[in-house]
Amino acid sequence: MKNNRVIVAGGAGYIGSHVCVDLINNGYDLLVIDDFSNSSPESLNRVREITQLTDQSRLGLLQADLASPADYQKIVDTIKLYKPAGAIHLAGLKAVGESVAEPGRYYRININATHTLIDGLDQADGRMIVFSSSATVYGDHNKSPVDETGRTGPTNPYGQTKFFIEQILTDTAISNPHWKICNLRYFNPVGADVSGLIGEDPNGIPNNLFPYIAQVAIGRREKLSVYGDDYPTPDGTGIRDYIHVCDLANGHVKALNFLEQDGNNGSHIFNLGTGVGVSVLDAVKAFEKASGKKVPYEIIQRREGDIAEIYADASQANKILGWQATRTMDDMCRDHWHWQSQNPNGYGDIKDDNKL
Ligand code: UFG
């Protein structure tokens, strides 16, 4: 009988919670490992609500820090006891600017977390990992659409950790042919589950475009700063490949299904994007249309480290995994707005409600 148990490291986060929903809907049983350093346990309650989970044992939780030596043994022992088929690995720090200011912290946490997970899975005989890598590993070296053979060269410590972890996982698969690895290079995830119950809830001032636009639309911030309109793009603003987080989540299920098949040992890389490039001003217009709100903006200077344009060639994921993004920019804006307008302060509202 197929082993349906999967560890979801970082499962309470923005992408992780959407991955949990899709895995549960596809019959998997989960053990989430999360320290809630950049997430809320409430997201897992919402996952239970969305999936109408009656058997609570299908979504277990270990609150622990995968990067902490103090938690190492507890985590490895718990994974051994759980006996999973493998893991989805989304645990780590992800703020580009912060990684430039605190590189040691980024290297230590993101890489140590990976080693703990590898050790636990190795000892549990569950040698399968789907890893949340990033298009950031391509840096500024390629003409878009970029495929998986594109030149790599991340431009900041956060991106370097993604690149190094891909290497660590690949070397692990070389050392022991039982290992099965998928490195998923995400483009720019946005949107939310159609229920509006889970979504992105950044700490403090958002770094990324969509959460910032959404907070302007809801009135939490006055205006968006557009980082430069002098790029060599049609309207001068940066072009990215925005992908609906539910399409992205489904890519993990498809990757897991692929690894489960006999013979797919070793390490694989897949871009997950739509293949469509959208400018900052296009995104603002689409969000205004979906929300019915004005999003005031001003053009300021370029943000250091930004590139003009990147979008995916995701044909490998289509060919090998049978995966394709199906949701449009309008869907992304509608669902992002639905989440934001139902939860103006993210999961923070829950903490406040509990005080009453
Ligand atoms: N932008 C603005 N104003 C803002 C925020 C962003 O104009 O307030 C612009 C950026 O200059 C860029 C675009 O919007 O042109 C997208 O910026 P994001 O910060 O949303 O996304 P990035 O493409 O810079 O980076 C994201 C993630 C990284 C990931 C990378 C993969 O933040 O974690 O995509 O390419 F690695």
Angle at 286 (CA atoms; ends 284, 288), nearest 5 degrees: 70
Give the H/E segment covering residue 298.
strand 297-300
Alpha carbon of 254 to ligand 1 centroid (Å): 26
> What tens digit of pLDDT does each residue of 126-160 get?
999 999 999 999 999 899 999 999 999 999 999 99
At residue 349, the pLDDT reads 62
For 28, residues 6+ apart whose C-beta sits below 8 A from its C-beta are: 4, 5, 6, 256
Q: Catalytic annotation on 158?
A: yes
134 CB near ligand 1 (under 6 Å): yes
Q: Which helix (H) or strand (E) is 131 found in, with range?
A: strand 128-134
Nearest CA residue ID for atom 20, ligand 1: 208
Strand bridging mode 239-240 / 278-279: antiparallel
pLDDT of residue 40: 96
Gyration radius of the chain's alpha carbons: 19
Whole-angstrom distance, CA of residue 50 vs CA of residue 75: 28
Strands (E), the chain: 5-9, 29-34, 59-63, 86-89, 128-134, 180-186, 188-190, 224-227, 239-240, 242-244, 266-272, 278-279, 297-300
* Domains of the chain, each with CATH number or no CATH: 5-342 (3.40.50.720)
3-state secondary structure of 66: coil
Q: Helices 14-25 and 245-260 meet at what angle, rounded to 10?
A: 50
171's tokens: 């070397």
What distance in Å separates the CA atoms of residue 346 and residue 74, rounded to the nearest whole number?
31
Q: Give residue 38's identity as a one-letter amino acid code.
A: N
Q: ∠ CA(323), CA(328), CA(333), 5° rounding?
A: 125
The set of residues, in sequence order, having a beta carbon less than 8 Å from that of 171 and lying 6+ positions away, is: none
Q: How far is CA 158 from the centre of its chain?
A: 13
| pLDDT at residue number 1 | 84
CA of 232 to the centre of ligand 1 (A): 17
pLDDT per residue, tens digit, the chain (356 aa), is 899 999 999 999 999 999 999 999 999 999 999 999 999 999 999 999 999 999 999 999 999 999 999 999 999 999 999 999 999 999 999 999 999 999 999 999 999 999 999 999 999 999 999 999 999 999 998 999 999 999 999 999 999 999 999 999 999 999 999 999 999 999 999 999 999 999 999 888 999 999 999 999 999 999 999 999 999 999 999 999 999 999 999 999 999 999 999 999 999 999 999 999 999 999 999 999 999 999 999 999 999 889 999 999 999 999 999 999 999 999 999 999 999 999 999 998 654 443 33
- Residue nearest (by alpha carbon) to ligand 1 atom 18: 208
Local structure of 153: helix, strand or coil? coil
Q: Probe ligand 1: pick from 90, 106, 136, max atoms within 8 Å of CB?
A: 136
SS3 197: coil
Query: What is the model's pTM?
Result: 0.97
* Structure tokens, 117: 């997970």
User: Which three-class secondary structure state does DSSP give residue 2?
Assistant: coil
Rounded Cα distance, 179 and 267, in Å: 8
pLDDT of 352: 43
d(CA 211, CA 39): 15
DSSP sequence for 244-296 = EHHHHHHHHHHHHHHHHSTT--EEEEEEES-S--EEHHHHHHHHHHHH-----
> Which among 138, 158, 231, 311 is annotated as catalytic?
158
| Residue 167, both tokens | 């290497």
